[in-house]
């Protein structure tokens, strides 16, 4: 892929992300917003740009699930961390539908959704190329459920409830999750 072709792909991805972000702002209120940036390899940049061009979300859609004073986390072996359940948005699928599907696949849990908890804007760079995408994280409750891993991708090795005051040290986006929880209670 030539430099100009990669630039064009990144431009298309950014336009799609911008439209997705404004659609989320129109559809939901009261969610937290974060910004992050990542430098990635050329091949991963191309992968993320293609995902973002298709859905606006390079890392898919996720769900933060609570049950009283606990949060549900899954162990993602690809990143070697505890994360909230979520994954790629399939063609024609809404962000919420993707989040619900991924929650069921990764933790075997059905939940009642409360809206959008937070979004993260990811600025992604590779050399002189830049783009951005949105990561929507929905809020849900699932009282009295026992998680069961049934991930068809084999990336998730465990799913557990953790007390909010005892989240594992290697929890991805730990500060953001705690800020969201504090806003809820």
Please tell me the predicted confidence (pLDDT) of residue 154. Answer: 86
Please tell me the predicted confidence (pLDDT) of residue 3. Answer: 57
**Pure H helices in 28-147:** 42-55, 95-107
Residue 170 has pLDDT above 80, yes or no: yes
What pTM did the predictor assign? 0.94
Please tell me the predicted confidence (pLDDT) of residue 65. Answer: 97
Residue 91 has pLDDT above 70, yes or no: yes
DSSP 70-99: EEEEEEETTTTEEE-SEEPPPTT--HHHHH
Confidence of residue 184 (pLDDT cuts 50, 70, 90): confident
CA distance 113 to 1: 41
Question: Where in the chain are the domains?
Answer: 3-184
CA distance 153 to 105: 9
Confidence of residue 102 (pLDDT cuts 50, 70, 90): very high
Q: Which of 107, 100, 104, 138 is nearest to 24 (CA)?
A: 138
Please tell me the predicted confidence (pLDDT) of residue 144. Answer: 85
Please tell me the predicted confidence (pLDDT) of residue 2. Answer: 54
- In the CATH scheme, what is the homologous superfamily, with its name and number, of domain 3-184? Nucleoside Triphosphate Pyrophosphohydrolase (3.90.79.10)
Of 88 and 154, the structure prediction assigns the larger pLDDT to 88
pLDDT one-digit tens code per residue, 109-147: 999 999 999 999 999 999 999 999 999 999 999 988 899
pLDDT one-digit tens code per residue, 26-85: 999 999 999 999 999 999 999 999 999 999 999 999 999 999 899 999 999 999 999 999
């Amino acid at each position: 892929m030539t430099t100009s072709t990669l630039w064009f792909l990144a431009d298309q991805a950014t336009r799609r992300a911008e439209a997705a972000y404004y659609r989320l702002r129109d559809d939901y209120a009261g969610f937290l917003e974060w910004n992050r940036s990542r430098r990635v390899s050329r091949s991963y940049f191309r992968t993320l740009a293609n995902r973002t061009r298709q859905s606006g979300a390079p890392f898919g859609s996720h769900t933060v699930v609570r049950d009283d004073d606990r949060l549900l986390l899954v162990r993602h072996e690809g990143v070697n961390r505890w994360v909230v359940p979520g994954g790629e948005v399939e063609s024609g699928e809404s962000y919420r539908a993707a989040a619900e599907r991924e929650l069921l696949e990764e933790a075997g849990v059905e939940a009642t959704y409360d809206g959008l908890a937070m979004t993260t804007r990811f600025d992604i760079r590779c050399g002189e190329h830049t783009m951005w995408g949105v990561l929507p994280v929905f809020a849900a409750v699932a009282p009295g459920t026992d998680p069961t891993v049934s991930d068809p991708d084999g990336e998730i090795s465990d799913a557990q409830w953790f007390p909010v005051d005892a989240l594992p040290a290697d929890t991805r986006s730990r500060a953001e999750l705690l800020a969201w929880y504090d806003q809820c209670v």
